[in-house]
Amino acid sequence: MPTNPPGATTISRPPPSSATFTIPHTPSILKTTITLPPRSTWTSGLHWHETHTEYLRLLHGAIYLRLNNTIQILSAAESQSQVQSREGIVITVPRYARHAWHRAEHAYTMSEAVRMWGPRPVDLDKEVVVEEWTAPADISKPLFFWNLNYILLLSTPSARPTDSVYVPTLQRTARRVLGAWWIDLQLLVVFAVLDNYPVFWDIGGWGERWVGERIMGRVCRGKEWLATHMVLWMAAVVGGVLGLEAVSEERTPKELWEAWR
């Protein structure tokens, strides 16, 4: 388990999607570290970014990575003979590139996994440690992880607000009406503002060898883009009516909140 660097705080999610996030609470540090224990079902989900290039540094363990039409199994242990191994494997995720990652062990639950991915990495069952940061370097990524995790952790029964916590009447009514969708609505509001675009309609990849494949690929990407933007736009409108905020003072450390304001 990585130790907290100065200026960062650790937040942990419970099983089965166990994950520990070491998130900056000051604008002077902009890297977030994600640690996944063995058997964690956590996944980033398939998504893209439009205003930031994202960087992932695999420091420990093995991950499944989907980047546009390419799928890889990456192992920190098996890269030791490479020059970059001293600082981990760095993956560049360009703007608009659809990507997702999670522990590699889940890819090997399929019967044909070895044929598809190759032999099991030696560190398949080890803890996974990945750093994330962006270019341009700004506070968007720390703000995203603070507000996302606060919403998800608050959704657990033991962490839900008590009757003594003031909740606006409109939000209280919406929460009763939406049920489990209330959490999703709050997350969508965060996604809409902090450059995180989930793929709601995964049409699949198309090759780039032929003109027809490239055209169909762009048409499919356009449909995915439109579906995502429509969902996020509607969530932003509904969230605005209900007074939901992507970044709120209660969910954000003081230094980051002041920088955001």
- Total number of residues shown for the chain: 261
SS (H, E, C) 140-179: HHHHHHHHHHHHHHHCCHHHCCCCCCCCCHHHHHHHHHHC
Average of per-residue pLDDT values in the chain: 87
pLDDT given at position 15: 94
β-pair type (32-36, 99-103): unpaired
Q: How far apart are CA 89 and CA 60, in angstroms?
A: 9
Question: Which of helix, strand or coil describes residue 129?
Answer: strand
Start-to-end CA span in the chain (Å): 33
pLDDT higher than 60, residue 165: no
- Band (pLDDT 50/70/90 cuts) for residue 158 is very low
Architecture in CATH of 8-137: Sandwich (2.60)
**Phi–psi pair at 60, nearest 5 degrees:** -155, 140
From-to residues of CATH 2.60.120.10 in the chain: 8-137
| Lowest mean pLDDT across 159-173, 190-204, 232-246 | 159-173
pLDDT at residue 174, as a whole number: 78
Residues 9-30, buried b or exposed e (16+ Cβ, 10 A)? Answer: eebebeeeebbbbbbbbbbebb
pTM attached to this predicted model = 0.88
4 falls in which pLDDT band (50, 70, 90)? low
Q: 8 - beta bridge partners?
A: 24
